[in-house]
C-alpha cells in the first residue's frame, strides 16, 4: 500500500491511487493522518477506535469520550486497569496529563455545542448526501440501542465514517438513500473505505483516493454518481 505522506497530501490534486485495497489498520492510519493537528476528536466504538493507535504525539490530538472525559489515553493494561476509568465502549482506558472529567450533560454539550472537530464512526450505510445509518438494522426482532450515535452524528463539525465499501454479499454501503433507519441527516463529510475515500455533501460524492481499483471500476460497484475530487 502507499498512503500519501502529509507533504503529498498538501499538494494533492484530484485522485490519489494505490494498487491494493486497504486493510483495517491501513485505513485507521490514513484517518489518523488526515486529522488536523490540535483537533478534539471522538472515536466511535469498533473500527474507529483503531485510529488512536496511529495518532502521532506531535499531532497533539485530544480524545473525547462521551462518558465524560477529555484527554483519554490508550487502553489500560495490567495494573493500570481501573473500573472507574472506561471509554464509551466500556473498555478500561488511561488518562493523559491534562485530562479532564465532567458529567454526562456537559459531555454531550461539548458534542452538540459544536466544540468537537471530528468524530469517526462506523456505518451500515451512508447516502450520497451524507445521511448516516449506523444504529439499527430495522429488523423486526432486533432490540434497538442507539447510545450516543445520533448525538455524535449531529454534533461534531466533521463526521468521518470508516467502513468496508461492500457488504459480505457485495452490495455497496454507499447508497442513493439509506434503507436502514437513519442516525442523522446530511451529517457525514467523508467516508473512508477499503476501496476509496469519498467526500460526501449536498453536491454529491467525490472520490479523493482509490485503493486497488480505478474510478471506473469503483463506479461499477457504487450506485451513485461519482466524480474525481476537486483539486484541494
Partner 1 sequence: MLNFIDTVGEAVAGIKDGSTVMIGGFGNAGQPFELIDALLDCGATDLTVVNNNAGQGDQGLALLIKEGRVKKMICSFPRQSDSWHFDAKYRAGEIELELVPQGNLAERIRAAGAGIGGFFTPTGYGTMLAEGKETRILDGRGQVFETPIHADVALIKALTADGRGNLVYRKTARNFGPIMAAAAKHTIVQVSEIVPTGGLDPEIIVTPGIYVNSIVRVAAAAGETERVA
Q: Which three cell numbers stand for residue 37?
A: 493537528
- Backbone φ/ψ region at 11: left (φ over 0), alpha (ψ -120 to 50), beta: alpha
Beta bridge mates, 132? 126, 184
Q: Is 95 in the site for partner 1 (CB under 8 A)?
A: yes
Task: Give one DSSP letter per residue of 103-116, joined into a string.
Answer: -HHHHHHHHHTT--
The nearer residue to partner 1, 2 or 100, going by C-beta atoms, is 100
Residue 209 annotated among the catalytic residues of the structure: no
| Residue number, 21 or 184, with CB nearest to partner 1 | 184
Q: Cell 499531532 sits at which residue?
A: 59
Residues 6+ away with beta carbon under 8 Å from 56: 32
Query: Collapsing DSSP states into helix, strand and coil, what is residue 131?
Result: coil
**Residue 115 interacting with partner 1 (CB under 8 A):** no
Among 36, 38, 53, 104, binds partner 1 (CB under 8 A): 104
Q: Which of 66, 176, 209, 217 is catalytic?
A: 66
Of residues 136, 201, 204, 215, which one binds partner 1 by CB under 8 A?
136
119 is an interface residue for partner 1 by CB under 8 A: no
The residues that touch partner 1, with contacts defined as CB under 8 A, are 65-69, 82-87, 90, 95, 101-105, 107-109, 111-112, 136, 141, 143-151, 154-155, 181-185
Active site (catalytic) residues: 66
Amino acid at each position: 500500500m502507499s498512503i500519501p505522506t502529509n507533504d503529498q497530501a498538501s499538494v494533492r490534486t484530484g485522485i490519489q491511487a494505490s494498487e491494493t485495497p486497504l486493510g483495517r489498520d491501513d485505513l485507521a492510519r490514513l484517518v489518523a493522518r488526515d486529522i488536523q493537528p490540535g483537533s478534539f476528536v471522538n472515536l466511535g466504538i469498533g473500527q474507529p477506535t483503531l485510529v488512536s493507535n496511529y495518532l502521532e504525539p506531535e499531532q497533539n490530538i485530544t480524545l473525547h469520550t462521551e462518558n465524560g472525559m477529555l484527554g483519554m489515553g490508550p487502553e489500560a493494561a495490567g495494573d493500570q486497569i481501573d473500573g472507574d476509568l472506561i471509554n464509551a465502549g466500556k473498555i478500561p482506558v488511561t488518562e493523559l496529563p491534562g485530562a479532564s472529567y465532567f458529567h454526562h450533560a456537559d459531555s454531550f454539550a461539548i458534542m452538540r455545542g459544536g466544540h468537537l472537530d471530528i468524530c469517526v464512526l462506523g456505518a451500515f450505510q451512508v447516502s450520497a448526501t451524507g445521511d448516516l445509518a449506523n444504529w439499527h438494522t430495522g429488523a423486526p426482532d432486533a432490540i434497538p440501542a442507539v447510545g450516543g450515535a445520533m448525538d455524535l452524528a449531529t454534533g461534531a463539525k466533521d463526521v468521518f465514517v470508516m467502513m468496508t465499501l461492500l457488504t459480505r454479499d457485495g452490495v455497496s454501503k454507499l447508497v442513493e438513500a439509506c434503507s436502514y433507519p437513519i442516525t442523522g441527516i446530511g451529517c457525514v463529510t467523508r467516508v473512508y473505505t477499503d476501496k476509496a475515500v469519498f467526500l460526501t455533501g449536498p453536491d454529491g460524492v467525490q472520490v479523493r483516493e482509490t485503493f486497488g481499483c480505478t474510478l471506473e471500476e469503483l463506479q461499477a460497484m457504487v450506485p451513485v454518481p461519482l466524480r474525481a475530487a476537486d483539486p484541494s
